[in-house]
Amino acid sequence: MALASQVPRPDLLRSPSSRRTRRNNSRARFVVGLLIIAVIVVAGWQGVKWKNRNAEPETPTADGRGENSPPAGEMAANLDNSPPLTLDNPGPRDRGTQGVIPSDPTSTPPRDMQPVPDPTPEAAPPERVETPVDPPSDSPTGIRGLMTRAAELEREGKLVDARALLNRALHNSQTSPGDRERLRLDLSEINQKLVFEPVLMHSDAFMRSYEVQSGDSFWKIARQDGVYVNEDFLMRINQNSGTLRLGQTIKLPTKPFHAVVHKRAYRLDLYMGDVDRRAEWMYVRSFPVGLGEFDSTPEGSWVVAEDRKTTNPDWRNPRTGEYFRADDPDNPIGEYWIALTGTDANTRVRSGYGIHGTVEPQSIGRSMSMGCIRMLPNDIELVYEMLAEIDSTVWIVED
């Protein structure tokens, strides 16, 4: 019997080629194992990806950021480092959306975050605005603005307010001559109702109501304190022929009337107001006038002389001595005479000047008198009723 050590092993009895075949089969099994592992790994990764795809979207928190978003401070820092949002440079989309206000109107942005406004072109820095004493006529708050607003108020029936704005524009030193002409026309139209017709508005400071008492007459009422016109004017503005009823309400002016004569324009403007507050006078209406030849109408301030207003006066020509009796149709003075007394250094030394009518209507708008102020018959009749002795002033100016 052979010893165990002498028994040949089967692997030792195999040929070299069979050993090579075994090694190749082992490598093949190893490669196949690796491929199987790779397939398992890829399949697992795809499964995780598919699960995440079907998961719920990230829910924003109350401050408008996702749960995994960076803190508000970091977000603000990112916004600070991003370019400004303008129409020409909207910036990257991911940065631009970080500063958008949350769509939920109840949500509150963080304290260090400011809402981003709609992009607009860069505006020029605001100009320094200073309010002038007299705004220019082309400014919105200037003359044209006052005129436009006054027209709106007039259409609304607020005549007193409209008149106040127009009068303010008329007194403005920046008002152009063309605008002044328009303002005088508009004011005259309003005053036709507020002054010359029986229209009384409670907000009108230049008119007041009066209840007729027992024994009253227009003549008596006109002589009360604070009434600066004659009885004819009271009957005119109340459209009354002179008959009053007990308890009847009529309107009375509260301020005296004054005249300003513009020599260059041959125009007399009537105003209402306190004698010592000329800047606040309310314009009423205008009249054309004639003036003295050779610039003989003296400029300055005057007052209507006491007890020297006369209707149907007689008159003697100081140059020729020719006398014209009352009721003479050829009397150059006409039917009304308002004597003037000078009140300044230039006028106090002068006498014989006044405002009167004329029998020469062609002289209106011209310099043909001996220095007095001429008016058309109907105009002088109205002015005679309105100007009060002592209380009414007359200013004669060049422009």
Q: Read off the pLDDT of residues 294-320 as tens digits, 9 standing for 90 and up.
A: 999 999 999 999 999 999 999 999 999
- What is the widest separation between alpha-carbon atoms in the chain? 196
Comparing C-alpha atoms, which of 96, 99, 103 is closest to residue 60? 103
State the Cα–Cα distance between residues 216 and 246, nearest whole angstrom: 8
Comparing C-alpha atoms, which of 145, 140, 136, 72 is closest to residue 102? 72
Averaged confidence pLDDT in the chain: 79
Q: What is the mean pLDDT of residues 338-357?
A: 96
| pLDDT number for residue 221 | 97
State the Cα–Cα distance between residues 322 and 268, nearest whole angstrom: 29
**Domain covering 257-397: architecture:** Beta Barrel (2.40)
| pLDDT number for residue 22 | 58
> 26 or 385: whose pLDDT is higher?
385
| pLDDT number for residue 20 | 54
Poorest-pLDDT segment among 117-121, 133-137, 147-151, 243-247? 117-121
pTM of the model: 0.66
Over 50: is that where the pLDDT of 4 sits? no
| pLDDT number for residue 23 | 58
* pLDDT tens track for 7-35: 444 444 445 455 555 555 666 676 667 77
| pLDDT number for residue 3 | 41
Check: CB of residue 259 under 8 Å from CB of residue 246.
Answer: no
Choose the most confident range, by mean pLDDT, from 6-15, 59-68, 256-265. 256-265
| pLDDT number for residue 40 | 76
| pLDDT number for residue 306 | 95
Comparing C-alpha atoms, which of 396, 386, 389, 354 is closest to residue 371? 354
Domain boundaries, the chain: 134-194, 199-254, 257-397
Superfamily (CATH H level) for 199-254: LysM domain (3.10.350.10)
Poorest-pLDDT segment among 20-24, 175-179, 360-364, 392-396? 20-24
Name the percent of the chain lying above pLDDT 70: 66
* pLDDT tens track for 65-97: 444 444 443 333 333 343 433 333 334 433 333
Residue 47: band (very low, low, confident or very high) from pLDDT cuts 50, 70, 90:
low
Strand order in the sheet with 282-288: 282-288, 267-272, 257-262, 393-397, 300-311, 336-342, 354-356, 373-374
Six token digits for residue 393: 């002033």
Poorest-pLDDT segment among 135-144, 336-345, 385-394? 135-144
Check: CB of residue 258 under 8 Å from CB of residue 394.
Answer: yes
Residue 60: band (very low, low, confident or very high) from pLDDT cuts 50, 70, 90:
very low
| pLDDT number for residue 378 | 97
Element (H, E) at 395: strand 393-397
Q: What is the mean pLDDT of residues 163-185?
A: 95
| pLDDT number for residue 100 | 37
Intrachain domains 199-254 and 257-397 with the same fold = no
Residue 229: band (very low, low, confident or very high) from pLDDT cuts 50, 70, 90:
very high
Q: What is the mean pLDDT of residues 260-274?
A: 98
Over 80: is that where the pLDDT of 381 sits? yes
> 142 or 205: whose pLDDT is higher?
205
Q: What is the mean pLDDT of residues 29-54?
A: 64
Residue 332: band (very low, low, confident or very high) from pLDDT cuts 50, 70, 90:
very high
3-state secondary structure 177-191: HHHHHHHHHHHHHHH
